[in-house]
Structure 1
């Protein structure tokens, strides 16, 4: 059987032509951004999920859930994650990219 392979980048080009896909993708932007920030902080600290879990007094599965982007952790949990990875927690507010409000 001959399977045709498709690069994710090529598939994404097609997906982003669909307005429903774009709307759903945009709706998850914050979750993706938080997940990316958590993973980046852990990677820069050269820690595994197990290392962070030990430092936070929790389980590796809990860290995996945090990094999945499927839940919104409390600021207390984010602060504990920052402490465990030797980073500083910063929270900011930004206007949406397509804001129609005047500055």
Structure 2
């Protein structure tokens, strides 16, 4: 039986696939932070959406990494989860 780790390893062996995957790393990092903040707050996507006066599908899109939220939206998300948004630029 093939597990997810083996599939990922096989896919990332291809240089083009690895490049595309690595290019999405910032979006995935933001998504992980969003999900972690919501979980810490003990909220479902639906509850968070209600607090932010938006829809559950909007929260799902942000948490999937498919869309990068604006700074204003990040601030609203942070406030709704009892968090604080922090932006940091690091040397490459």
Q: TM-score range by the shorter chain?
A: over 0.9
Q: Give the aligned CA root-mean-square deviation in angstroms.
A: 1.0
The counterpart of 2:76, out of the listed 70, 77, 80, is 80
CA distance in 2, matches of 1:68, 1:13: 21
Which of 23, 35, 38 matches 1:39?
A: 35
Instruction: Decide which structure has the larger Cα Rg and report it.
Output: 1
CA distance in 2, matches of 1:10, 1:81: 35
**5+ unaligned residues in a row in structure 2: which ranges?**
none
In the TM superposition, residue 65 of structure 1 has moved relative to its aligned partner by: 1.2
Runs (4+) off by over 3 Å: none
Number of residue pairs aligned between Structure 1 and Structure 2:
92
TM-score with structure 1 length normalisation? 0.84
Q: Taking structure 2 as the reference length, what is the TM-score of the superposition?
A: 0.94
Q: Unaligned stretches of 5+ in structure 1?
A: 97-103
Higher relative contact order (CA 8 A, sep 6+): 2
CA distance in 2, matches of 1:36, 1:23: 20
